[in-house]
Chains A and B, each alone.
Chain A
Amino acid sequence: AQSVTQLDSQVPVFEEAPVELRCNYSSSVSVYLFWYVQYPNQGLQLLLKYLSGSTLVKGINGFEAEFNKSQTSFHLRKPSVHISDTAEYFCAVSGVQGAQKLVFGQGTRLTINP
C-alpha cells in the first residue's frame, strides 16, 4: 500500500515570490506521482505527473516538480506565484502495476498575498 504526507497544511506567500510545496510518499513498490490543484468549489485538475524518465517534470501554469527516489519526495515548485495560484494543492501516488488507485495527501492550502 502507498501513503502520502504533505508536510505543510498552509503556505502563505507574497505575489511574485517563489514557492515550494512539500510532498513525501511511502511505498514498497515503484510508483507514479501526481500533483492536482483544486480551486474553490471546483473539482481537481491535474498539474503534472511523473511516470518515468527525467526526474524534473514540468506542468501547467509554470509549475514543476522533482522526483527524488532516495528521499521519497516529490516537491512542487513555482519560481514566481500569482494571485490566481491561490488554491488547494494535492499530491497523490499510485503503484505502477495494473489498475492501481490514487492515494492522496491531505492537501496544502496556498494563499497568495498582494
Chain B
Amino acid sequence: EAGVAQSPRYKIIEKRQSVAFWCNPISGHATLYWYQQILGQGPKLLIQFQNNGVVDDSQLPKDRFSAERLKGVDSTLKIQPAKLEDSAVYLCASSFSQGARETQYFGPGTRLLVL
C-alpha cells in the first residue's frame, strides 16, 4: 500500500514570495491533515479536512495560509506572502476516518526555508 505522498520535499523562497505544497493521501482515507513542525517543536495542526469539507482550521493563519481539497482526495496548502517565521516542515497526514481513535499516517514532509 502506497503511503502519503508529498511534494516538493524541499523549498527555499524569499520572504513575501508565495509557495504551495501538495499532498496525496493514502487511497480510501477520508480525513486529511496539514501540520506545521517548527524546528525543535512537535507538529501543530493547521487544518483538518473530512472529504472536501473543513473540520478544523482554528490554528490556520488565514491572512496568509490557505488550503483546499477540492475533490476529496489530494490537497494543496498555500502560503502567500511568506514570512521568516514560516520556516518549518509541513507534514501531511491522512486517516481512514475522523474519529480520535483513528491512526494518522504521515508523509515525509516538505521542508520550507524562508530567507
Chain A residues engaging chain B, CB cutoff 8 angstroms = 4, 32, 36, 41-46, 49, 51, 90, 92, 94-102, 104-107
Stretch at the interface among B12-20, B42-50, B67-75: B42-50
Main secondary structure of the interface of B (DSSP, over half): loop
Please indicate which of the listed interface residues B4, B45, B101 has the most CB atoms of chain A within 10 Å of its own CB.
B101
A106 in complex: contacting residue of B41, B55, B106, CB < 8 Å: B41
Complex Cα–Cα for A95 and B42 (A)? 18
On whether the beta carbons of B40 and A99 are closer than 8 Å, the reply is no
Cβ-Cβ contact count across A and B, 8 Å cutoff: 60
A94, closest chain B residue (CB): B100
A-B residue pairs in contact (CB < 8 Å), sample of 8: A41-B108, A44-B43, A46-B103, A98-B98, A98-B100, A99-B55, A101-B48, A101-B56
On whether the beta carbons of A43 and B109 are closer than 8 Å, the reply is yes
Please indicate which of the listed interface residues B31, B45, B104 has the most CB atoms of chain A within 10 Å of its own CB.
B104
Please indicate which of the listed interface residues A41, A43, A46 has the most CB atoms of chain B within 10 Å of its own CB.
A43
A92 CB contacts on chain B under 8 angstroms: 42
B98 CB contacts on chain A under 8 angstroms: 98-99
On whether the beta carbons of B42 and A107 are closer than 8 Å, the reply is yes
Q: A96-B100, A98-B100 are in contact. Are A90 and B43 (CB under 8 A)?
A: yes
A96, closest chain B residue (CB): B100
A36 CB contacts on chain B under 8 angstroms: 106
